[in-house]
Amino acid sequence: MADTNAKLTVNGKEYELPIIEGTLGRPVIDIAALQESGFWSYDPGFKVTAPVESKITYIDGGKGELLHRGYPIDQLANNAEYLEVAYALIHGDLPNSEQKADFFKKIREHTGVHDQLRKFFEGFRRDAHPMAIMVGVVGALSAFYHEHLDVSNEDHREITAIRLIAKMPTLAAMSYKYSRGEPFMYPRNDFNYAENFLYMMFATPADVDYEPNDVITRAMDKIFTLHADHEQNASTSTVRLAGSTGANPYACIAAGIAALWGPSHGGANEAVLEMLDEIGTVENVPEFMEKVKSREVKLMGFGHRVYKNFDPRAQVMKETCDEVLGALGINDPKLELAMALEKIALEDPFFVERNLYPNVDFYSGIILKAIGIPTSMFTVIFSLARTSGWISHWLEMHSTPFKIGRPRQLYTGETRRDFVKVEDRK
């Protein structure tokens, strides 16, 4: 709803730009009228641009607030299971008991993958990074579900969401098993979502009597919930952009996985552990901090584009981290080093002045290491969890009219207009 207009004067002509209020957060200025002005807007990194309207997630970076479908993330993480949160992201609200039972059943029914998909794994070298495998095999799902997928059909879209959320733990665990040279474990549908994932990761055919540990399962489920969605971040925007062309949704999610992989985004949890390896011991922390301050390196797991006060996911994650370390009685020097780093960074003026706080990936990396998940799987787990968010945004986009995402540019290249023959080129 346009409350009032902003005015923009370009080359002496005034344009009225409607101001639109959402239910929460900053209003936006609708700049569509720029189309007639002969100018484009310029906003590298999309720092002030909202390319979509969405009802799924709200973040107030200043307050450190994250809401999914209106519910604060700490309440969801502490009281709901990941699959309930996934349901809310997709359907608009938390499920009642009947809806919950039905959704969980549908997810259980789709955890298996086509046997032919195993062949895709075999095409990778054993030392391939599991994220490389995930980009490949999730993209490959499009080959299994293309012919019978009409993205304009609501039922087809819904079953796609179910399939993706159900199969991601299976594929993620397969990518790990493949790297270990161990046989894949079939999903166990008597386990809950997190238990089943841990079972497929850690059980072997020789030891199928895997006993889930409550503290670990709950921590895993919270990690899933805390990574489920984060509004228009780089990977979600990638999924929306790919989806805006009408592309196959499995291919769109593979594009999201690719975008997530980078160390500025989901790859940060892995980068945190690599950084701890590089620092080595607590005594080396001051020297490392000097490198950070001279901008030679970044302190991975710190800072966020949106949160400039604290990351509310990190608070829940820190509590879980303490719980897991306590329950497992872990005394790993790497974890002590992480805690020392956290303490110094929280007090150092360089970080305080720049509002750099630990983000969700700082603590999730520590928890995952404590429960025996190898570093290379950290971002895979993030992608598994974020799939519910990605697909919710894809569904939201497809349930309303949308346009192909097609940004403009500021061209600063050459202006040669005459072709130069090869013999005349200098």
**Of residues 14-53, which lie at the interface with ligand CMC (CB under 6 A)?**
none
For position 278 contacting ligand CMC by CB under 6 A, the verdict is no
| Size, binding site for ligand CMC by CB under 6 A | 21
- Can you tell me the distance from the alpha carbon of 228 to that of 86, in angstroms, rounded to the nearest whole number? 7
Q: Quick check: 64 binds ligand CMC (CB under 6 A)?
A: no
Least distance from C-beta 341 to ligand CMC, angstroms? 11
Site for ligand CMC contains 302 (CB under 6 A): yes
Which CA distances in Å does 107 have to 102, 161, 169, 189, 223?
9, 9, 11, 9, 19
DSSP 287-309: HHHHHHHTTSS--TTB--SS-SS
Check residue 84 for interaction with ligand CMC (CB under 6 A). no
- Give Cβ neighbours of residue 68 (< 8 Å, ≥ 6 apart): 56, 57, 76, 85, 88, 89, 228, 229
CA dist 405 and 51 (Å) reads: 9
Among 107, 113, 275, 360, binds ligand CMC (CB under 6 A): 360
Query: Is the CB of 275 or the CB of 397 nearer to ligand CMC?
Result: 275
As measured in angstroms, the least distance from the Cβ of 266 to ligand CMC is 5
Which of 230, 265, 304, 398 is catalytic? The answer is 304
Contacts of 122 (CB under 8 A, 6+ apart): none
| Least spacing, CB of residue 273 vs ligand CMC, in Å | 12
**Binding piece for ligand CMC, criterion CB under 6 A, among 85-93, 132-140, 209-217, 303-311:** 303-311
**Of positions 266, 312, 365, 389, contacts ligand CMC by CB under 6 A:** 266
217 in contact with ligand CMC (CB under 6 A): no
Residue nearer to ligand CMC on the CB measure, 264 or 399: 264
Closest approach of Cβ 357 to ligand CMC, in Å?
10
Do 85 and 228 meet the contact criterion of CB atoms below 8 Å apart? yes
Q: Is residue 299 part of the contact set for ligand CMC (CB under 6 A)?
A: yes
Per CB under 6 A, 304 contacts ligand CMC? yes
Between 68 and 230, name the residue whose CB sits nearer to ligand CMC. Answer: 230
| Span interacting with ligand CMC, options 251-259, 299-307, 324-332, 406-414, rule CB under 6 A | 299-307
Q: Treating both helix axes as pointing N-terminal to C-terminal, what angle do 82-91 and 97-109 enclose, rounded to 10 degrees?
A: 100
- Please pick, from the candidates 95, 130, 256, 301, the single residue that binds ligand CMC as defined by CB under 6 A: 301
The answer to whether 310 and 318 are in contact (CB under 8 A) is no
- Measured CA to CA, the distance from residue 364 to residue 369 in angstroms comes to 8
Q: Are 133 and 170 in contact (CB under 8 A)?
A: no
Interface stretch with ligand CMC, choices 148-156, 157-165, 247-255, 261-269 (CB under 6 A): 261-269
- List the one residue out of 28, 33, 30, 27 whose CA is nearest residue 10: 33
Q: Which residues, including other chains, have CB under 8 Å from residue 380's CB and lie 6 or more apart? A: 130, 131, 134, 172, 175, 176
The distance of closest approach from Cβ of residue 64 to ligand CMC in the complex, given in angstroms and rounded to an integer, is 13
358 touching ligand CMC, by CB under 6 A: no
Site stretch for ligand CMC (CB under 6 A), options 153-161, 258-266, 367-375, 414-422: 258-266
Give the phi and the psi of residue 68 in degrees, each rounded to 5: -110, 125
Alpha carbon distance 330, 325 (integer Å): 5
End-to-end CA distance of the chain: 59
Tokens of 32: 């569509």
| Residue 148 appears among annotated catalytic residues | no
Which residue in 68, 361, 393, 398 is the catalytic one? 361
d(CA 59, CA 65): 6
> Which CB sits closer to ligand CMC, 57 or 111?
57
Report if residue 292 touches ligand CMC, rule: CB under 6 A.
Answer: yes
Query: Is 361 annotated as catalytic?
Result: yes
The residue (of 156 and 298) whose beta carbon lies closer to ligand CMC is: 298
Residues 218-257 vs ligand CMC: string with x where CB under 6 A?
------------x--x------------------------
Q: Which of 359, 376, 379, 388 binds ligand CMC (CB under 6 A)?
A: 359
Extract the tokens encoding 367.
Answer: 């928890």
Alpha-helical regions (H) of 48-110: 73-79, 82-91, 97-109
| 31 to 50, 241, 356, 404: CA distances (angstroms) | 11, 20, 32, 17
Catalytically active residues, by annotation: 304, 361
Residues of the shown chain interacting with ligand CMC in the complex, contacts defined by CB under 6 A: 230, 233, 264-266, 268, 292, 295, 298-305, 354, 356, 359-361
